Amino acid sequence: MDQDVAAKEQPRYIKLNERDNVAIVVNDFGLPAGSRFASGLTLRAFVPQGHKTSLVDIAEGAPIIRYGEIIGYALAPILAGEWVDEARIRMPEAPDLDKLEISTAVPAPLPPLDGFTFEGYRNPDGSVGTKNILGISSSVQCVKGTMEYAVKRIRAELLPKYPNVDDVVPLTHAYGCGVAINAPDAIVPIRTLQNLALNPNFGGEILVISLGCEKLAPERLVPEGVSDAIVRMQDEAFDGFGAIVDAIMTQAEARLKILNKRTREACPASDLVIGLQCGGSDAFSGVTANPAVGFAADLLVRAGATVMFSEVTEVRDAIQLLTRRAINEDVGRALVREMAWYDSYLARGGADRSANTTPGNKKGGLANIVEKSLGSIVKSGSSAITGVLAPGERATQKGMLFAATPASDFICGTLQLASGMTLQVFTTGRGTPYGLAAAPVIKVATRTELARRWKDLIDFDAGRIATGEKTIEETGWDLFRLILDVASGRTKPWSDRWGIHNDLTLFNPAPVT
């Protein structure tokens, strides 16, 4: 025991790849100048936890290598044992989208993993939910207050009568009117709203609240063959606000009756649709949490599940590693298409990929978006990439998909819900209370120090990988089992226990009017 403690206090760094000429400091709160590592390297300056030190002398203009890849070039000579902070690194150019290798290193199929199940809610269309929720959709922001008023009453007056239903969730948003509804990119928010209502956790019971004069016709949010699913506030049959709310309550109760008949049943793990995301990343993200998630993702893929990773600006600078893994030419081209679309979207706004890294990322040791991306794509594991979804498209394939979304936590979460995600795994280094009302979110800490301090917000500690207490494989298996437990409703993640959830936030790349 005492030996363990002493071992932990030894100056430690993590070098990820043979080629690396920098390594990150593991010890909590960093290490002072003069700290001597087992390798013989001595620090010349204080290096904060998660930040890089040079393992060798690096000449001016020479590449700085982490993950075996170039994360930048030395702006001035760097001596071994110095702190390699962001100000000393020039960022490389993004990979040229016209010169990428496609499907040149497609991983062989992983061995199937049979026999793993979870308790889910099977829907008539074959999809399986992890929760039983009445989702009430809307065609325009004008009705938001009315919806929230109605939902408050539904929760108080109706929900107690239908104990098998977990919650009532208003799918509120800022879209629907005052927007260029026919602009080419308007398909993104519209498709997102259409597919959000179809999320498996809502059991196929659709109800749309509309104003009546908005640009986004509510009929567009109702699948063909579904009738009587729209309440229009301007309908002349309504005499006052009370009558409108009564109509919403009546429609809601009809759906609650149906949803209340849903029960959990054993479903194969192949029925899971898992979203992966990160937020508040630090230099440990790519060392602990994301590798553990990547291992769990491989287990899910082996079990036949659908898994999606996202966040275009966090894969753009490592895209050359992903196009090689595309299962075929079409999937590779679709990856390039999504990168190119986002490049032009950012250029239109006068921004580029360097706008992604936050002050918190940098404080956590990530010098730039290249280093962040190399750590981010580790979440996708080691399988072939079998499909690509444009923002808000619904997943129809199994395996590891790339669902193109912005990296913004709330927008990525919303778009993954539209793609049919029923549980999200979220890795964080700096810490965030992030949660979604429509699907459970498992928050994975990159460092044990954060997991301890936020013991009632973080669901899973991947930091033990850095201290050597656990392997990536052990941690990945633990996470896989936690995913099955949470999907079955046996374990509630902290964001659901506290009831703290982020807003749905649509991605609208089209003009407003």
Where does this chain bind Ca ion (CB under 5 A)? 279, 407, 409
Beta carbon nearer to Ca ion, 78 or 276:
276
Q: How far is the CB of 154 from Ca ion (least distance, A)?
A: 31
- 20 vs 317, beta carbon nearer Ca ion: 317
Minimum CB distance to Ca ion smaller for 78 or for 407: 407
Q: What is the DSSP string of 347-391?
A: HHTT--GGGS--HHHHHTT--SHHHHHHHHGGGGTTSPEEEEE-T
DSSP 3-state of 93: coil
User: Of 57, 64, 70, whose CA–CA distance to 88 is shortest?
Assistant: 64
d(CA 406, CA 285): 18
**Buried b vs exposed e over 461-476: b needs ≥16 C-beta within 10 Å?**
bbbbbbbeebebeebb
Enter the tokens of residue 396.
Answer: 């129809």
- Tell me the three state secondary structure of residue 272: coil
Classify burial at 347, counting beta carbons within 10 Å of its beta carbon; exposed 0-12, middle 13-18, buried 19 or more: exposed
Q: How far is the CB of 407 from Ca ion (least distance, A)?
A: 4
User: Considering the complex, what minimum distance in angstroms separates the CB of residue 277 from Ca ion?
Assistant: 5
CB of 489 to Ca ion, least distance (A): 26
Residue 46 or 454 with smaller CB distance to Ca ion = 454
Rounded to a whole number of angstroms, the minimum distance from the CB of residue 279 to Ca ion is 4
Question: Least distance from C-beta 275 to Ca ion, angstroms?
Answer: 11
Is 100 or 415 the residue whose CB approaches Ca ion more closely?
Answer: 415
| Closest residue to Ca ion using C-beta atoms | 279
- Cβ-Cβ contacts under 8 Å for 21 (sequence gap 6 or more): 54, 55, 56, 58, 63, 64, 65
Among residues 286 and 332, whose Cβ is nearest to Ca ion? 286
Provide, rounded to whole angstroms, the least separation between the CB of residue 442 and Ca ion.
Answer: 15
Length of the chain: 513
**Which strands, in side-by-side order, build the sheet including 52-54?**
13-14, 22-25, 52-54
Beta carbon nearer to Ca ion, 190 or 377: 377
Dist. CA 111–CA 484, nearest whole Å: 20
